[in-house]
Structure 1
Amino acid sequence: MEGPTSLIGCAGWSLASAVAGFFPAGGSHLERYAQVLPAVEINSSFYRPHRPATYARWRDSVPAAFRFAVKVPKVITHERRLCDVEEPLARFLDEVGHLDEKLGCLLVQLPPSLRFEPAVAGAFFEGLRARTRGDVVCEPRHETWSSEAAQRLLADVRVGVVRADPQVVPEVPVRGEVAYYRLHGSPKIYHSEYSEPFLDALARELSAHQRAGRRTWCIFDNTASFAAVPNALSLLRRQRDEAPGSRPEAPR
């Protein structure tokens, strides 16, 4: 993936009144959001398809350097469980392809009951990798995906492994070209706000990945109580402290 190497954002671009002052007043929520944050994760694609024209409109609503991560539909991951997915995968890739160069990453979130099976995983990820040039990451939620065999397979096809919080599978080393963090909120998932010390440590961790030459994604999914945007802005401020004035200062 060409473009920015540090991508911080939220799962969705809804803007609560509490943070509205940090965004421009005019335009759609996405247009306002994209003037401040450099990336977003589209989760609605997991539940329902979007028309190519919708993806094209989103593409044209954001600056050139902005990037989208898009979640692969549940019919592929949860219903068909990575098997016999040629038709829905082709349809999804055709739709999301209308983001053009602003499509930065595809997110494959697996159901907790899906064990690692080498033949199934290999066929699916090799097929997906052959059809897309951008980053691909997997968020497994069964402990068998933490095995060395699973990690080696994903690394061989250049698929990154998501680091999620709360952590539901044993953590594995980040390999390859991309580090992708999904922060769901803890201790109360989707609600809890992350603390300043947590964000300090996270910023250092992301910087270490960048120094290692990796593209870094950090998506805040703690959206239910409107904590995601303040957390993302605070993390963005930490990364921009050495070059102040490029964006509005985020809440502390």
Structure 2
Amino acid sequence: MPKTPRVGTAGWSIPAAQADRFPVEGSHLQRYSQRLPAVEINSSFYRPHRASTYKRWAASVPPDFRFAVKISKEVTHTRRLANTAEPLARFLEEVRLLGPKLGPLLIQLPPSLVFHQDLVADFLRYLRTSFAGDLACEPRHPSWFTDEVDAVLVEHRIARVAADPAPVPRAAEPGGWQALNYFRLHGSPRMYYSPYPQAFLDRLRHRLSSLNVEVWCIFDNTAEGAATHDALAVKTETVCPGVGVSPGLPGPAA
């Protein structure tokens, strides 16, 4: 049977337009976690968080709630995967405080980062010796979207994100390790702003619900609050009848 997708947003802010769809009492995270089963922590990309912060977040949510966490930009953007032992160890020590509520780690790479076999293999090998959980990688340079790169990701059990908008056509489909499918929807045609049309969301909901693997779907079109609406529209435990299934994301949003 297909597994229930984990649908959520990047961050857990609750826009005023959607506030009546959430409980009234509690912090934003507590209220959010009563309606959506997962969230992606993006603030970890910009700065470290205190141990007490991760512990508080973990204690604020139901037992089956999960956090994906974006790896620090010191690792991915400043050091560009080279000489990362110290900042990576610090980051992993922090996020482990989420305990059993820790979901995948997200490795988002800068658009200028070209795939270099030795550099990437060394980084992933070291990361895998330090972290055994789920990993998802969102590369954005065209050199990453080949069978050879997918083979490297499979070797290290790393899923390649299916992204919208996709920097190249292949980026719209999940790649790499297929036991995890991780979808990131940034808003289209205007990234971070545009809401998705209902027909797109309906097709996406059916697509996600039909997959018999671990599925994450994160809406990152948060700038004007569209992500919350779109995530609630997609969150479901059943396949919608009468809607066709496509192999990747459900075509242009517009």
Whether TM-score is above 0.5 comes out as yes
Q: CA deviation at 1:169?
A: 2.9
The percent of aligned pairs where both chains have the same amino acid is 51
Measured in 2, the distance between the counterparts of 1:31 and 1:241 equals 29
Match of 2:190 among 185, 188, 191: 188
Match of 2:202 among 200, 203, 213: 200
Q: Is 1:9 matched up with 2:8?
A: yes
Q: Is 1:55 matched up with 2:54?
A: yes
Partner of 1:28: 27
- Tell me the number of residue pairs that the alignment of Structure 1 and Structure 2 aligns: 236
Unaligned segments of structure 1, at least 5 residues = 243-252
Whichever residue aligns with residue 234 of structure 2, its letter is L
Partner of 1:246: none
Measured in 1, the distance between the counterparts of 2:209 and 2:232 equals 16
Q: CA deviation at 1:209?
A: 2.0
Q: Structure 2 vs 1, CA of residues 236 and 10 (structure 1 numbering), >3 Å: closer, same or farther? A: same
Whichever residue aligns with residue 123 of structure 2, its letter is F
Measured in 1, the distance between the counterparts of 2:174 and 2:27 equals 39
Whichever residue aligns with residue 206 of structure 1, its letter is L
Partner of 1:158: 157
Whichever residue aligns with residue 76 of structure 2, its letter is T
Secondary structure of the 1:209 match is coil
Measured in 1, the distance between the counterparts of 2:210 and 2:120 equals 30
Residues 1-252 of structure 1: pairs in structure 2 closer than 5 A: 5-171=4-170, 174=175, 175-210=177-212, 214-237=213-236, 239=238
Kindly provide the CA deviation profile for residues 137-168 of structure 1, in whole angstroms up to 9, marking residues without a partner as x. Answer: 00000011001111100011100000111101
Whichever residue aligns with residue 178 of structure 1, its letter is L
Measured in 1, the distance between the counterparts of 2:237 and 2:85 equals 42
Q: CA deviation at 1:173?
A: 5.1
What is the RMSD of the two structures over their aligned residues, measured on CA atoms?
Answer: 1.6
Whichever residue aligns with residue 182 of structure 2, its letter is Y
Measured in 2, the distance between the counterparts of 1:206 and 1:5 equals 8
Kindly provide the CA deviation profile for residues 43-80 of structure 1, in whole angstroms up to 9, marking residues without a partner as x. Answer: 00000000111101000000000000000010100010
Unaligned segments of structure 2, at least 5 residues = 242-254
Counterpart contact for 1:12–1:42, Cα < 8 Å: yes
Measured in 2, the distance between the counterparts of 1:134 and 1:239 equals 27
Secondary structure of the 1:8 match is strand
Q: Structure 2 vs 1, CA of residues 97 and 173 (structure 1 numbering), >3 Å: closer, same or farther? A: closer
Kindly provide the CA deviation profile for residues 99-126 of structure 1, in whole angstroms up to 9, marking residues without a partner as x. Answer: 0110011000000110111111111112
Normalised to the residue count of structure 1, the TM-score between the two structures is 0.90
Counterpart contact for 2:136–2:160, Cα < 8 Å: yes
